[in-house]
Chains A and B, each alone.
Chain A
Amino acid sequence: AQRVTQPEKLLSVFKGAPVELKCNYSYSGSPELFWYVQYSRQRLQLLLRHISRESIKGFTADLNKGETSFHLKKPFAQEEDSAMYYCALRRETSGSRLTFGEGTQLTVNP
Protein backbone atom coordinates (compact mmCIF):
# COMPACT_ATOMS: atom_id res chain seq x y z
CA ALA A 1 0.00 0.00 0.00
CA GLN A 2 1.15 3.51 -0.71
CA ARG A 3 1.93 6.03 1.99
CA VAL A 4 2.80 9.73 2.08
CA THR A 5 4.59 11.34 5.00
CA GLN A 6 4.95 15.04 5.72
CA PRO A 7 7.13 15.17 8.82
CA GLU A 8 6.41 18.78 9.73
CA LYS A 9 2.92 19.64 10.87
CA LEU A 10 3.83 23.31 11.33
CA LEU A 11 6.45 25.41 9.57
CA SER A 12 7.08 29.06 10.25
CA VAL A 13 9.44 31.29 8.27
CA PHE A 14 9.99 34.99 7.75
CA LYS A 15 9.08 36.78 4.56
CA GLY A 16 11.90 36.56 2.03
CA ALA A 17 13.39 33.44 3.58
CA PRO A 18 13.67 30.17 1.67
CA VAL A 19 11.14 27.51 2.48
CA GLU A 20 11.13 23.76 2.01
CA LEU A 21 8.17 21.56 2.80
CA LYS A 22 9.19 17.94 3.05
CA CYS A 23 7.33 15.02 1.55
CA ASN A 24 8.41 11.39 1.51
CA TYR A 25 6.49 8.51 0.04
CA SER A 26 6.50 4.75 -0.03
CA TYR A 27 5.22 2.93 -3.06
CA SER A 28 6.76 0.11 -5.00
CA GLY A 29 5.60 1.20 -8.45
CA SER A 30 5.91 4.45 -10.41
CA PRO A 31 3.88 7.05 -8.56
CA GLU A 32 2.45 10.32 -9.71
CA LEU A 33 3.13 13.04 -7.14
CA PHE A 34 1.22 16.24 -6.51
CA TRP A 35 1.22 19.20 -4.18
CA TYR A 36 -2.12 20.70 -3.18
CA VAL A 37 -2.62 23.95 -1.28
CA GLN A 38 -5.53 24.99 0.89
CA TYR A 39 -5.74 28.66 1.78
CA SER A 40 -7.78 29.60 4.82
CA ARG A 41 -11.41 28.54 4.39
CA GLN A 42 -10.94 27.73 0.72
CA ARG A 43 -10.93 24.57 -1.35
CA LEU A 44 -8.00 22.31 -2.07
CA GLN A 45 -6.20 23.58 -5.15
CA LEU A 46 -3.66 21.80 -7.26
CA LEU A 47 -0.31 23.56 -6.97
CA LEU A 48 2.14 21.28 -8.75
CA ARG A 49 2.35 17.88 -10.41
CA HIS A 50 5.68 16.20 -10.88
CA ILE A 51 5.17 15.19 -14.50
CA SER A 52 4.74 18.81 -15.55
CA ARG A 53 8.06 19.93 -14.07
CA GLU A 54 6.51 23.37 -13.74
CA SER A 55 6.95 26.27 -11.36
CA ILE A 56 3.79 27.77 -9.89
CA LYS A 57 3.84 30.90 -7.73
CA GLY A 58 7.61 30.44 -7.45
CA PHE A 59 7.28 26.93 -6.00
CA THR A 60 9.12 23.95 -7.46
CA ALA A 61 9.27 20.30 -6.53
CA ASP A 62 11.56 17.59 -7.83
CA LEU A 63 10.78 13.93 -7.63
CA ASN A 64 13.76 12.07 -6.18
CA LYS A 65 13.10 8.38 -6.69
CA GLY A 66 16.30 7.39 -4.90
CA GLU A 67 15.23 9.15 -1.72
CA THR A 68 11.50 8.66 -2.42
CA SER A 69 10.94 12.35 -1.82
CA PHE A 70 9.03 15.19 -3.46
CA HIS A 71 9.94 18.23 -1.41
CA LEU A 72 8.33 21.58 -2.20
CA LYS A 73 10.65 24.57 -2.34
CA LYS A 74 10.48 28.30 -2.77
CA PRO A 75 13.54 30.55 -2.58
CA PHE A 76 11.76 33.61 -1.17
CA ALA A 77 8.59 33.08 0.83
CA GLN A 78 5.77 35.63 0.72
CA GLU A 79 3.09 36.30 3.32
CA GLU A 80 0.41 35.16 0.89
CA ASP A 81 2.04 31.73 0.80
CA SER A 82 0.67 31.06 4.29
CA ALA A 83 -1.60 28.04 3.87
CA MET A 84 -1.95 24.33 4.42
CA TYR A 85 0.09 22.27 1.97
CA TYR A 86 -0.65 18.64 1.18
CA CYS A 87 1.55 16.23 -0.69
CA ALA A 88 -0.36 13.52 -2.53
CA LEU A 89 0.44 10.37 -4.46
CA ARG A 90 -1.47 8.51 -7.12
CA ARG A 91 -0.65 5.08 -8.44
CA GLU A 92 0.10 4.77 -12.11
CA THR A 93 -3.06 2.71 -12.74
CA SER A 94 -5.86 4.71 -14.28
CA GLY A 95 -8.36 6.64 -12.24
CA SER A 96 -6.94 5.58 -8.92
CA ARG A 97 -7.18 7.34 -5.62
CA LEU A 98 -5.05 10.13 -4.26
CA THR A 99 -3.26 9.31 -1.02
CA PHE A 100 -2.59 12.43 0.98
CA GLY A 101 0.02 13.26 3.56
CA GLU A 102 -0.96 14.79 6.87
CA GLY A 103 -0.32 18.29 5.62
CA THR A 104 2.04 21.09 6.67
CA GLN A 105 0.70 24.41 7.88
CA LEU A 106 3.05 27.08 6.54
CA THR A 107 3.07 30.48 8.19
CA VAL A 108 5.09 33.27 6.62
CA ASN A 109 5.69 36.06 9.10
CA PRO A 110 6.25 39.67 8.04
Chain B
Amino acid sequence: EPEVTQTPSHQVTQMGQEVILRCVPISNHLYFYWYRQILGQKVEFLVSFYNNEISEKSEIFDDQFSVERPDGSNFTLKIRSTKLEDSAMYFCASSRSNQAFHGYTFGSGTRLTVV
Protein backbone atom coordinates (compact mmCIF):
# COMPACT_ATOMS: atom_id res chain seq x y z
CA GLU B 1 0.00 0.00 0.00
CA PRO B 2 1.40 3.44 -0.91
CA GLU B 3 2.71 5.52 1.98
CA VAL B 4 3.46 9.13 2.76
CA THR B 5 7.13 9.33 3.71
CA GLN B 6 8.53 11.90 6.10
CA THR B 7 12.15 12.71 6.87
CA PRO B 8 13.81 13.02 9.26
CA SER B 9 11.95 11.05 11.91
CA HIS B 10 13.60 13.11 14.64
CA GLN B 11 15.16 16.55 14.49
CA VAL B 12 16.78 18.49 17.28
CA THR B 13 17.56 22.12 16.62
CA GLN B 14 18.63 25.17 18.54
CA MET B 15 16.20 28.01 19.11
CA GLY B 16 16.41 30.55 16.33
CA GLN B 17 17.64 28.09 13.72
CA GLU B 18 15.81 27.29 10.50
CA VAL B 19 14.47 23.78 9.95
CA ILE B 20 13.03 22.10 6.89
CA LEU B 21 10.78 19.10 7.32
CA ARG B 22 10.38 16.92 4.26
CA CYS B 23 7.53 14.85 2.99
CA VAL B 24 6.99 12.71 -0.08
CA PRO B 25 3.25 12.42 -0.66
CA ILE B 26 1.63 9.57 -2.53
CA SER B 27 2.37 10.06 -6.21
CA ASN B 28 -1.15 10.47 -7.60
CA HIS B 29 -2.38 12.65 -4.75
CA LEU B 30 -3.15 16.29 -5.42
CA TYR B 31 -3.90 17.76 -1.98
CA PHE B 32 -1.21 18.12 0.66
CA TYR B 33 -1.37 19.06 4.31
CA TRP B 34 0.74 19.71 7.37
CA TYR B 35 -0.53 19.09 10.88
CA ARG B 36 1.24 19.23 14.19
CA GLN B 37 0.74 17.68 17.60
CA ILE B 38 2.32 19.20 20.67
CA LEU B 39 2.96 16.53 23.30
CA GLY B 40 -0.23 15.79 25.20
CA GLN B 41 -2.39 17.96 22.97
CA LYS B 42 -4.65 17.42 20.00
CA VAL B 43 -3.59 17.21 16.37
CA GLU B 44 -3.84 20.71 14.86
CA PHE B 45 -4.13 21.78 11.25
CA LEU B 46 -1.39 24.03 9.91
CA VAL B 47 -1.81 24.37 6.15
CA SER B 48 -3.28 22.82 3.03
CA PHE B 49 -1.72 23.04 -0.43
CA TYR B 50 -3.24 22.43 -3.84
CA ASN B 51 -2.24 23.33 -7.37
CA ASN B 52 1.05 24.78 -6.16
CA GLU B 53 -0.43 27.23 -3.74
CA ILE B 54 -1.71 27.42 -0.21
CA SER B 55 -5.44 26.82 -0.18
CA GLU B 56 -6.00 27.25 3.53
CA LYS B 57 -3.93 27.99 6.63
CA SER B 58 -4.58 28.19 10.33
CA GLU B 59 -3.75 30.96 12.76
CA ILE B 60 -0.73 28.90 13.84
CA PHE B 61 0.77 29.18 10.36
CA ASP B 62 2.32 32.62 10.71
CA ASP B 63 5.14 34.30 8.79
CA GLN B 64 7.69 31.97 10.36
CA PHE B 65 6.23 29.06 8.40
CA SER B 66 6.32 28.35 4.70
CA VAL B 67 5.59 25.41 2.45
CA GLU B 68 6.92 24.45 -0.90
CA ARG B 69 6.65 21.72 -3.48
CA PRO B 70 10.01 22.29 -5.14
CA ASP B 71 10.26 19.38 -7.56
CA GLY B 72 6.87 17.77 -8.04
CA SER B 73 7.49 15.02 -5.52
CA ASN B 74 8.67 16.59 -2.26
CA PHE B 75 6.48 18.76 -0.06
CA THR B 76 8.40 20.72 2.55
CA LEU B 77 7.57 22.73 5.66
CA LYS B 78 10.10 25.37 6.64
CA ILE B 79 10.23 27.09 10.00
CA ARG B 80 12.48 30.12 9.65
CA SER B 81 13.44 30.87 13.22
CA THR B 82 12.38 28.12 15.57
CA LYS B 83 10.97 28.79 19.02
CA LEU B 84 10.75 26.45 21.98
CA GLU B 85 6.99 26.20 21.48
CA ASP B 86 7.52 24.81 17.98
CA SER B 87 8.57 21.53 19.58
CA ALA B 88 5.98 19.03 18.40
CA MET B 89 5.29 16.10 16.14
CA TYR B 90 4.70 17.32 12.60
CA PHE B 91 2.55 15.18 10.32
CA CYS B 92 2.32 15.46 6.57
CA ALA B 93 -0.79 14.13 4.82
CA SER B 94 -2.00 13.82 1.26
CA SER B 95 -5.28 13.10 -0.42
CA ARG B 96 -6.25 12.15 -3.96
CA SER B 97 -9.17 14.49 -4.01
CA ASN B 98 -11.29 16.68 -1.83
CA GLN B 99 -13.98 14.02 -1.65
CA ALA B 100 -14.56 12.50 1.76
CA PHE B 101 -14.46 8.91 0.58
CA HIS B 102 -10.78 9.25 -0.32
CA GLY B 103 -9.75 10.31 3.15
CA TYR B 104 -6.25 11.43 4.01
CA THR B 105 -3.08 9.36 4.24
CA PHE B 106 -0.75 10.51 6.98
CA GLY B 107 2.98 10.12 7.22
CA SER B 108 4.65 8.74 10.33
CA GLY B 109 5.66 12.20 11.46
CA THR B 110 8.80 14.16 12.32
CA ARG B 111 9.44 14.80 15.97
CA LEU B 112 10.94 18.29 16.23
CA THR B 113 12.66 19.28 19.45
CA VAL B 114 13.78 22.88 19.84
CA VAL B 115 16.36 23.43 22.59
Per the bound structure, the CA–CA distance linking A95 and B95 in Å amounts to 9
* B-facing residues in A75-103 (Cβ within 8 Å): 86, 90, 94-103
Chain B residues bordering chain A, tally (CB within 8 A): 26
Are B58 and A44 in contact (CB-based, < 8 A)?
no
Closest to B108 in A: A43
The answer to whether A43 touches B42, judged by C-beta atoms less than 8 angstroms apart, is: no
B56, A95: Cβ atoms closer than 8 Å: yes
Smallest Cβ-Cβ distance to B50: which chain A residue? A95
A44–B33 Cα distance when bound, in Å, is 14
Q: List B contacts of A101 (CB < 8 A).
A: 42
Stretch at the interface among B18-26, B77-85, B96-104: B96-104
- B43 interface neighbour in A44, A52, A95, A96, Cβ under 8 Å: A44
Per the 8 Å Cβ criterion, residues 1-33 of B in contact with A are 4, 31, 33
Q: Are A45 and B106 in contact (CB-based, < 8 A)?
A: yes
CB contacts (< 8 Å) of A43 on chain B: these are 4, 91, 106-109
Interface residues of B in 50-103 (CB under 8 A from A): 50, 55-56, 58, 91, 95, 98, 100-101, 103
